Homo-oligomer: A and B are copies of this chain.
Amino acid sequence: MANNTFGNLLSLTTFGESHGAAIGGIIDGFPAGLKIDFEAIQSEMNRRKPGQSTIVTARKEADEVQFLSGIFEGVTTGASIGFIIHNTNQKSKDYSHNVNVYRPSHADFTYDKKYGHRDHRGGGRTSARETANWVVAGALAKQLIADIKVNAFTSSVGEITIKKPYQDLDFSLIESNDIRCPDQKVAEEMIQHIKDIKKEGDTVGGTITCVIQNVPIGLGEPIFNKLHAKLGAAMLSINAVKGFEYGSGFCGTKMKGSEHNDAFNKDGTTKTNLSGGIQGGVSNGMDIYFRVAFKPVATLIQKQETINSDGNIVEMQGRGRHDPCVVPRAVPIVEAMAALVMADFYLLNKTTKI
């Protein structure tokens, strides 16, 4: 039923809990013959890993990925690619006080009711640790569709927002600061805001914008396999995501058709791009761009009242090492999932015309 599988022709199937021995996955459908750049993969892993700056969790994980199959002498063979990431820093005792506690706005309650039995340590399967697997697969996908450029960045933290259109930003600056915002001035404000929030033991939400450039015309499939619907499903799979919009998005609902239509140039490009690079679920060659909403992290370093599995009121306080804002570490995750979607449609598009 594919609960733990993403993608069609190119698919990723995953396993792993926050505090188990390891997490990992299997990539199926990856074409044979690609020389893999392993450093580029580890570099993506490093962008996601904890402990990389003062505004993310201080937890340390090496997040070294080991490939077990499907790559021979550095080149993909067409066989399924198995990989594993060992969990090296599992402090299960950090969570022992939480065994029966349902943390507010976490999945403890729903998992317990659904399954009747759960791994409570660090959220178990619901932990965002899982997304390390996605970054591995996404890094491979990026290499498969190397001509397509996928760039995500932090576009807002709380009320602090980039005001410029993405066209005015320099994506080469994304990695130049800890919040991954290419507008340096706004980045500083965001970082300061997160530091302030962290001092309160509180957390804050934000948004990530992703821009996909140099996309061939024709990727995406009607009717239930539309390019933007898969991008949306991919983003909504990421922990803490509450919304997705592409092109004009929710703002577009306030416009008239005469303002919203993208007039064509003679060469098939369009003068404006409120469509966001997709028409009828299929890429039109213009930039694809979308925005993803992340809620504030639910784990607070504050006292909260909640209930336990016996239905009793208990007091709890986050004691582990947690992110005050999920957004900076989510940037490579957004890119990874976007790359997986694009690579899948790239392969599928090879079969749609005789």
A interface residues (Cβ-Cβ under 8 A, vs B)? 1-6, 8-9, 11, 13-17, 20-26, 28-29, 31-34, 66, 68-70, 72, 75-82, 84, 102, 104-107, 109-111, 113-119, 124-126, 130, 144, 156, 158-159, 197, 200, 202-207, 217-218, 220-226, 228-230, 232-233, 236-237, 242-250, 252-268, 270, 274-276, 278-284, 291, 293-300, 302, 304-307, 311-313, 347-354
Q: Which 8 A-B pairs have the closest CB atoms?
A: A107-B280, A15-B82, A243-B245, A203-B257, A32-B115, A205-B253, A114-B218, A110-B282
Q: Complex Cα distance A110/B285, Å? A: 9
The answer to whether A280 touches B3 (Cβ under 8 A) is no
B233, A243: Cβ atoms under 8 Å? no
Chain B's closest residue to A207 (CB) is B253
Contacts of A106 in B (CB 8 A): 279-280
Expressed in whole angstroms, the minimum distance between the Cβ of A234 and any Cβ of chain B is: 8
Cβ contacts A to B, 8 pairs, < 8 Å? A1-B225, A2-B28, A5-B13, A17-B72, A77-B125, A207-B250, A253-B293, A266-B307
From B79, B249, B295, give the contact of A252 (CB < 8 A). Answer: B295
A293 to B297, CA, bound (A): 26
The one of B202, B255, B294 in contact with A258, judged by C-beta atoms closer than 8 angstroms, is B202
> Which residues from B are CB-within-8-Å of A300?
257-258, 261
Please tell me which one of the listed residues B244, B270, B294, B353 contacts residue A78 in the complex, with CB atoms under 8 A apart.
Answer: B353
Closest Cβ neighbor of A204 among chain B residues: B256
Neighbour of A229 across the interface among B205, B225, B236, CB < 8 A: B236
Among candidates B31, B222, B261, residue contacting A354 with C-beta atoms closer than 8 Å: B31
Q: A114-B352, A256-B203 are in contact. Are A222 and B126 (CB under 8 A)?
A: yes
**Contact present for B1 and A275 (CB under 8 Å):** no
What distance in Å separates the Cβ of A274 from its nearest Cβ neighbour in chain B? 8
CA distance A77 to B223 in the complex (A): 14
Chain B residues positioned under 8 Å from A267 (CB to CB): 311
Question: How far is B26's CA from A354's CA once the two chains are assembled, in angstroms?
Answer: 19
Separation of A204 and B306 alpha carbons in the complex (Å): 45
Task: Return the contact of A218 from the options B110, B236, B274 (Cβ within 8 A).
Answer: B110
Q: How far is the CB of A311 from chain B (nearest CB, A)?
A: 5
Q: Is the CB of A126 within 8 A of B4?
A: no
CB <8 Å contact, A347 and B353: no
A110 to B113, CA, bound (A): 35
Q: Is the CB of B13 within 8 A of A28?
A: yes
Min CB–CB distance A240 → chain B (angstroms): 9
A242 and B250 contacting across the interface, CB-CB below 8 Å: yes
A84–chain B nearest beta-carbon distance, Å? 7
* A268 and B307 contact, Cβ closer than 8 Å, known pairs A1-B221, A16-B68, A17-B79: yes
From known contacts A70-B15, A267-B311, infer whether A222 and B3 are also in contact, taking CB-CB under 8 Å. Answer: yes
Among A1, A254, A302, the most chain B Cβ lie within 10 Å of the Cβ of A1
Partner of A32, one of B116, B230, B232, B291: B116
List the B residue with the shortest CB-CB distance to A217: B113
B15–A26 CB distance below 8 A: yes
User: Do A29 and B1 touch across chains, with their CB atoms under 8 A apart?
Assistant: yes
A243–B242 contact, CB under 8 A? no
Tell which of A110, A223, A246, A249 has the most Cβ of chain B within 10 Å: A223
Given contacts A158-B253, A255-B296, 10 further A-B contacts (CB under 8 A): A20-B68, A33-B117, A78-B353, A104-B270, A107-B279, A230-B233, A232-B236, A258-B300, A260-B296, A263-B304
